Amino acid sequence: MLRTREQVRVLGPGDRDAFIALAEQDPVVNVFADYRARLTNLDERWLGGQVWGRFDGDRLVAGCHLGANLVPVQCTPDDVGAFADVALRRRNTVGTIVGPADVVAALWELIEPRWSRPRELRLDQPHLEMGRVPTIAADPHVRVTTPLDLDVLYPACVAMYTEEVGVSPENDAGGGDLYRARIQQLIGRGWSMASFDDQGVVFKAEVACVTPYAAQVQGVWVRPDRRGEGLSSSGMAAVVSHVIGSGMAPVVSLYVNEWNTPARAAYARVGFVQTATFATLMF
């Protein structure tokens, strides 16, 4: 129950600066929400959803991004009750709930009785980051992709997504058109990197979002027949070197499944360290 001075409401363009300041309290962990606020100015037309805030008087103290992803922002486990009813109203549009593990667990405890069962629960995902150029050698073949690479790159992106998420992105409404457009967008921004041989993509990764404080990497993948050669480490060294060396962002972050021992070892070799623990519920 909210106290007298507290309120919860939808945020809009007039709240942009306050929400960004909230996200900047932990700018690497909150990079996704910070990026979305800067990109959309919290305008629902561009968000494809809503961002809600909890206020103590005039001060914004917690937030929640509600679109295809439900992402708590600077919430404690005690804050999530303020957003539970809002989350329940959007349950048919949310594909994932992701954020700090303790906060996700607290929110799920409140909404589980009235929400569909997750297709998969990933409750222990180390959140990793690094803020320096790696000391290990970067793969010289990994480069920023161009529109000419799309036809070769796209099948690798579908393969990675299907392997990681458990369903093909081409099963979504609109088939592969929306996912292909997303890959084109990342290429156009210079956020897609890959290496190739005569059989196609060898290594690939994308930058998913960028703020003045951090860039978050996603979609790291090595073609199955080339695994075990150390290409994840050298490929990620190339990605981190590019992101930091080009001035794109001063810190690179990602989160990884606890059970993915080879990936965790590769990231450790590059120089990533764990700074938090995430959880993801997939519907």
Q: Each residue of 95-127: pLDDT tens digit?
A: 899 999 999 999 999 999 998 889 999 999 999
Q: What is the CATH number of the domain that holds 27?
A: 3.40.630.30
- Asked if 174 and 257 sit in the same domain, the reply is yes
Give a yes or no: residue 187 inside a domain.
yes
Number of domains in the chain: 2
- Asked if 165 and 270 sit in the same domain, the reply is yes
Q: Each residue of 70-102: pLDDT tens digit?
A: 999 999 988 999 999 888 888 778 889 999 999
Give a yes or no: residue 87 inside a domain.
yes
- Asked if 169 and 268 sit in the same domain, the reply is yes
77 vs 145, residue with greater confidence:
145
3-class state of residue 91 by DSSP: coil
Give a yes or no: residue 132 inside a domain.
no
- Asked if 11 and 107 sit in the same domain, the reply is yes
Q: What is the DSSP letter of 136?
A: S
Residue among 32, 96, 101, 89 at smallest CA distance from 63: 32
Give a yes or no: residue 95 inside a domain.
yes
Q: Give pairs for 223-227: CB < 8 Å, separation 24+.
A: 223/156, 223/199, 225/199, 226/202, 227/262
- Asked if 101 and 150 sit in the same domain, the reply is no
pLDDT of residue 171: 81
Least confident of 16-25, 107-116, 168-177, 228-237: 168-177
Distance CA 273, CA 252 (A): 11
- Asked if 210 and 255 sit in the same domain, the reply is yes
Give a yes or no: residue 251 inside a domain.
yes
Give a yes or no: residue 34 inside a domain.
yes
pLDDT band at 4 (very low <50, low <70, confident <90, very high): very low
- Asked if 17 and 109 sit in the same domain, the reply is yes
- Asked if 100 and 210 sit in the same domain, the reply is no
Output the CA torsion 48→144→257→162 (10° steps).
70
pLDDT band at 2 (very low <50, low <70, confident <90, very high): low
Question: Of the residues 57, 81, 116, which one is the last residue of a structural domain?
Answer: 116
- Asked if 153 and 255 sit in the same domain, the reply is yes
- Asked if 268 and 149 sit in the same domain, the reply is yes
Q: Each residue of 24-44: pLDDT tens digit?
A: 999 999 999 999 999 999 999
Give a yes or no: residue 78 inside a domain.
yes
**Quick check: 253 and 216 in contact, CB under 8 A?**
yes
- Residue 116: partners with Cβ closer than 8 Å, 6 or more residues away: 91, 283
- Asked if 255 and 173 sit in the same domain, the reply is yes
Q: Which domain holds residue 47?
A: 6-116
Largest CA distance in the chain: 66
**Quick check: 235 and 245 in contact, CB under 8 A?**
no
Give a yes or no: residue 124 inside a domain.
no
Kindly report the backbone phi and psi dihedral angles of residue 154, in degrees, each rounded to the nearest multiple of 5, phi listed first: -55, -45
- Asked if 79 and 34 sit in the same domain, the reply is yes
192-197, strands of its sheet edge to edge: 6-10, 50-56, 59-66, 69-73, 96-100, 273-282, 120-130, 252-255, 215-222, 200-210, 192-197, 143-144
